[in-house]
Structure formats: structure tokens, C-alpha cells
Structure 1
Amino acid sequence: MPNNQFKKGELYSFITGKASTAIARRLQKNFKQANIDITIEQWSVLYHLWKEDGMSQQQLCDATFRDKPSITRLVDNLEKLKLVKRVASKDDRRINLIYLTKEAEVLQEQTIDVATQTLNEALEGVTHGQIEIAKEVLQKVYDNLK
């Protein structure tokens, strides 16, 4: 028996990430208001590099759920902004490792502050218990489909 408690039309909005899209739009708006001139997609790459600098482009694909052409384009644009640099791997020159520049390190605190502010706006009125349940449910959905 299916475990689908959505009304017709609700399920698609849920699956396509209506809330996620709204948060991304608000974050982009908040970046713009703070004079941070990067896209949400670029920020997601920087975010993962702040956690682990020197990732390969394939690792960035896996971490951000993007395909290789998308990551190549994002890294190209981040290089133009002087926020990252590509370095050929010493073990395999076919692999590029992506490293943050000093300029990207300066952006870290400012962008994390804006992201935290945005998440606080999004979660206003949501209890800790509700957040934990949502995380558990979404993790289960992800685990079921990976």
C-alpha cells in the first residue's frame, strides 16, 4: 500500500523542492543586498571547498550533485573571479584539484553570515522538533533513492 499522504498536485511541488527553491532565491537576493557578487551555485562550490580545500572536480560533482560540465563551468567562472585555482594532481595530471584563493577565504565569513541569516528567516516559527523530523524524513527519502 503506498504511503502517499499528498493531495493531487502537492507531491510534485514537494519533490521538486519548492522550499529549497524559495530559500535559494532568498539567499541570492540577500547576497545581492550585501554586495556579494557570486551566484548560489558558485557559493555551493566554495562552501564545499571551505570544508575541504583541494577537492577534485569529480569530488565537487559528487558533493554538489552536479554534472561534470556544470562543475567545469562553475570552476571556470570562479577562476575568472580569482576565487579558486586549478592545480594538476601530482599523482595523476589528468585530475585537477581545486584550491581556494585568499580572496575566497575572505568571503567565507561574510557569506556564511548571510546564509545563516537567510536560514533563520526561512525557519522562523519552526520548532527544533519539527526541524529534526524534516531532516529525518528527507534523509530517508534520499536513502531510499540513492
Structure 2
Amino acid sequence: MTTNFEHAEEFFSFLTGKASAALGRRLQRNLKDEGVIITSEQWSLLYYLWIEEGRTQQELAMLTFRDKPSISRLINNLEKLKFVMRVNDKEDKRSNLIFLTKQGRQLRDRCMRGANRTIQEALEGVNYEQMLRAKDTLEHLYANLK
């Protein structure tokens, strides 16, 4: 089924640019307010490590929808900040497992406060049904393009 949207270009521009960029900028500002100077991209990688450490770079790439070079760059920068460390996978010598350092673990609470505030600010004035509709629309869009 095809649908002709009169304002499809505006929708595409908003979806791929404005909303995502605004969320990223606000997250970085809210993290800075919590005393954490990292990018929204670095936050997304740390988030998945707070859920489960010892993930491979490939797993992190899939979870964050990034390519391998981007994940390597993010991990390199987080290593320089001493928030993560690479450990050779004993079962697969070609692979690295990514673990949080003590400093990386200590960031969790401050980062989650900043992220939760960002979500609250983004959803201000949006009721639950609107949020579910938007989520369903984005999931449908993603499924179509997968």
C-alpha cells in the first residue's frame, strides 16, 4: 500500500533531523548540568553497558544503530576518559569485550537523572495515547525500512 503525503519532505526532515538533534542537544545540556561532560552518543553506549557489561563492539553497534568505525571511535574516546576498557575475548581472539571502569560505573546515577529529565522535557504536554501513537508510527516506519 502506498500513501501520498502532501508534506512528506517536511516529515522526513523533521524525523531525521530536528527531533533527533534537539533530543541530543538537550541530553548533552542536561548531562552537563549533572556535571557529566559526554556526548549523547557516548551516553547511549554507556547506557547499554550499565545494563550489561562485557558486550562486544558488534553488539554495541547493533544496539545503538551505529557502524563499526563509529563504535570504535566512541569506545576510543570513552577509554581516553577512563570510563570503559577493552578486554580480549578469551573465546574469540578477534573480538573485544567492553567493560565499564569504576569511573564509568559512578556516572550512572547522574547520567540517568539527566536522561530522565530530558525525556520529561521532551514529552511535556504529550499524553500517553499520543506517545503510544508516535511510538507505533516510528516502529512501523522502522519495520518498513529494515
Q: Which TM-score band (shorter chain)?
A: over 0.9
Unaligned runs of 5+ in 1: none
- TM-aligned CA distance change 1:130 to 1:6, over 3 Å: farther
**Match of 1:131?**
131
Give the aligned residue type for 1:77. Answer: N
Amino acid at match of 1:131: M
The aligned counterpart of 1:29 is: 29
**1:60 maps to amino acid:** L
SS at match of 1:26: helix
Instruction: Specify the alignment match of 2:9 in structure 1.
Output: 9
Contact 2:28 2:37 in 1 (8 A): no
Shift of residue 91, structure 1, vs aligned partner: 0.6
Question: What letter matches 1:47 in structure 2?
Answer: Y
Structure 2 CA distance, aligned partners of 1:100 and 1:111? 14
For the structure 1 residues 131 and 6, does the alpha-carbon distance in structure 2 shift closer, same or farther, using more than 3 Å as the test? farther
Structure 2, gaps ≥5 residues long: none
Aligned length: 146
**Coordinate RMSD, CA, aligned:** 1.4
Change beyond 3 A, Cα 1:8–1:48: closer
Overall identity of the aligned pairs, in %: 53
Detail structure 1 runs of 4+ shifted over 3 Å in the superposition. Answer: none
Tell me how far apart the structure 2 counterparts of residues 120 and 87 of structure 1 sit (CA, whole Å).
Answer: 36
User: What is the TM-score of this pair, normalised by structure 1?
Assistant: 0.93
